[in-house]
Amino acid sequence: MINIGKNTTMKNVFITGMSGFTGTHLFNLLNSKNYQVYGIYNRKKRIKIKNAKIIGLTPTILHLFNIPIPDDMDGRVLTECFEEDSELANIFIKK
């Protein structure tokens, strides 16, 4: 949780599909209830990530939440998923 004031905390939530009818409404509902919402938009443009493996999902999600990645964790942050000029693509990966 994130402390945003005296007696107020903001909960974090991750949505794997924020686009479309259901995802958009879920995002709006959670956002209106003071959740910090992170998620994945379905993209029509296909991207290829070289040497991506499923074990890269956990480090990538930890990076999204700005949580340090343990040294003994396998996989890597799949930085190719992020827009080049985005904050996520340009912040240091914490280990």
Residues 23 and 52 in one domain: no
Q: How far apart are CA 90 and CA 87, in angstroms?
A: 5
What is the tens place of the pLDDT at every residue in 75-94?
998 888 777 776 766 676 76
Which pLDDT value is given to residue 2? 44
Residues 37 and 1 in one domain: yes
Residue 27's domain spans which residues? Answer: 1-42
What is the tens place of the pLDDT at every residue in 26-75?
888 888 888 888 776 655 566 777 888 889 989 988 888 888 999 999 99
Domain count, the chain: 2
User: pTM of the entire structure?
Assistant: 0.54
